[in-house]
Amino acid sequence: MLADLASNTHKLDGLVLHGTFNPPMAAMGRHLRKHGIPYIFIPHDPYVEPLLREHRYRKALYWHLFEKQLISGSCAVQLLDASHEKPLRDMGCEVKTVVVPNGCEPEMLNDLPADARIPGVDSEETRILYFGRMDRNHKGLDLLLEGFSKVMSKASPHNASAKLIMTGNDWTDRNELEALTANLGITDQVTFTGRRPESAMEIVADADLVVLPSRFDGFGLCIVEAMLAARPVIVSSKAGVASHVEKSGGGWLTEPKPESIATTISTALDCKHEWKDKGLKNQAYVQNHLTWEQVAHQTRQAYSSVFT
């Protein structure tokens, strides 16, 4: 492959490289620059403090030796949301940017069960779902548990039926999160399911409300899937998908802090009569703006403007 790229055997207009702090991408970028082949770099996550502080010194060294050169040598950086440009500029990068969101396949609706829950209608139990890997720092799961415990500590008819379901790959933090759940005294109200074999539509259709409390997030594809399944959502303002939730009118934005998450969950629980309509707004928005076909047209337009 490297030999083919060196001679540009396939007459490529350019390449697309993916991933922050990724040594193979740094090596590939150096190879492409050496042979004069343009490339677009997609970091996926924004270069914000919560990302940079984990393994801080290692990342700082890597940034100055490799990452900054990878970015400055690209012909454009592709971002998942316009809000990710400022952190890039704050790091001293002046390269051109293009913004293209993530999307989903409308055909996923074929997996939606005929008996899917109607959000907010089942009065016996209100199911709040987190759907993703058990990554405490990135996804803000400790913040979610602390916020949820604050909600459960207040007497309210809406709170009494609320259950938090944590579904996804165990990653490395599940034990720590389960211990935090016990320390907060909410073990009876929180369920860790691990990874489930069902399709994404089946999983989210079993919930009333889907939440993503990330400290930072490139986008949040699980939220797009929940929106497609007509679920109302609560999303961190630091997730790339937040701007789309705001435009759809199908949910609530929260700061990734326990107090803010608690207030937002309480507000949502007090508005259960709106959940069905908010879910339908989300579904319509995704079908009109965030299908992979629509994203592909945006991608083609962006790449045509870069690879000239």
Distances (CA, A) of 255 to 21, 164, 282: 26, 19, 20
- Terminal C-alpha separation, the chain: 23
Q: Are 128 and 180 members of one domain?
A: yes
Contact status, residue 239 vs residue 214, Cβ threshold 8 Å: yes
Q: Are 226 and 145 members of one domain?
A: yes
pLDDT beyond 70 at 171: yes
Q: Residue 54: its pLDDT value, please?
A: 87
Per-residue model confidence as pLDDT tens digits over 253-288 = 999 999 999 999 999 999 999 999 999 999 999 999
Please count the structural domains in the chain.
Answer: 2
Q: Residue 220: its pLDDT value, please?
A: 94
pLDDT beyond 80 at 156: no
Q: Are 139 and 282 members of one domain?
A: yes
Per-residue model confidence as pLDDT tens digits over 211-251 = 999 999 999 999 999 999 999 999 999 999 999 999 999 99
pLDDT beyond 90 at 161: no
Contact status, residue 196 vs residue 131, Cβ threshold 8 Å: no
Per-residue model confidence as pLDDT tens digits over 29-58 = 999 999 999 999 999 999 999 999 989 999
Whether pTM exceeds 0.85? yes
Tell me whether strands 209-212 and 76-79 are parallel, antiparallel or unpaired. unpaired
Q: Are 255 and 139 members of one domain?
A: yes
Residue 277: burial class (beta carbons within 10 Å; 0-12, 13-18, 19+): middle
Q: Are 185 and 85 members of one domain?
A: no
Domain boundaries, position 87: 2-102+292-306
Q: Are 230 and 94 members of one domain?
A: no
Q: Are 177 and 51 members of one domain?
A: no
Q: Are 6 and 144 members of one domain?
A: no
Per-residue model confidence as pLDDT tens digits over 104-141 = 999 999 999 998 999 988 668 899 999 999 999 999 99
- Dihedral of the CA atoms 299, 301, 306, 308 (nearest 10)? 130
CATH number at residue 39: 3.40.50.2000
Reported as a pLDDT band with limits 50, 70 and 90, residue 175 is: very high
Q: Are 186 and 259 members of one domain?
A: yes
Per-residue model confidence as pLDDT tens digits over 48-103 = 999 999 899 999 999 999 999 999 999 999 999 999 999 999 999 999 999 999 99
